Amino acid sequence: MIIPHPLLGPRDAQEFTYLGDASLLNRPDWQAENADAAFYDYQYLRNNPAGVHRELWFHEQGDRSWLIVTRNTVTHEILGAELAVDVARDMSTKTETGV
């Protein structure tokens, strides 16, 4: 499988470590009343989607960047890849502006 690294171009997936569902980047509030249940769900309950899915990958044997890879889990087709820092920046901008 070839991952289209946004900075380095096409890279073999063996250079990366798969780290799971990218939607789990937002940790629950540890001070909330339901923190125990929320952290249990966050840590142990995982979806196993069939189809298009956003995943977190770490370029361990390269520039050590974190990527959000959009991949079809049925066909393993890579639909795109973005630097995780850019995705996080976009999310915080949308939160600040209310968009």
**Which CATH number is associated with domain 2-97?**
3.30.2270.10
Amino acid identity, position 35 = A
Q: What is the CA radius of gyration of the chain?
A: 15
Q: At CA 75, angle to CA 48 and CA 73, rounded to 5?
A: 20
- pLDDT tens, 44-86? 877 777 999 999 999 999 999 999 999 999 999 999 999 999 9
* pTM attached to this predicted model: 0.74
pLDDT reported for residue 21:
82
Residue ranges per structural domain of the chain: 2-97
Q: Distance (Å, rounded) from C-alpha 94 to C-alpha 59?
A: 27
- pLDDT tens, 28-41? 888 999 999 988 98
Q: Distance (Å, rounded) from C-alpha 26 to C-alpha 28?
A: 7
**Cα pseudo-dihedral 79, 81, 84, 86, rounded to 10:** -100
| 67's tokens | 């990527």
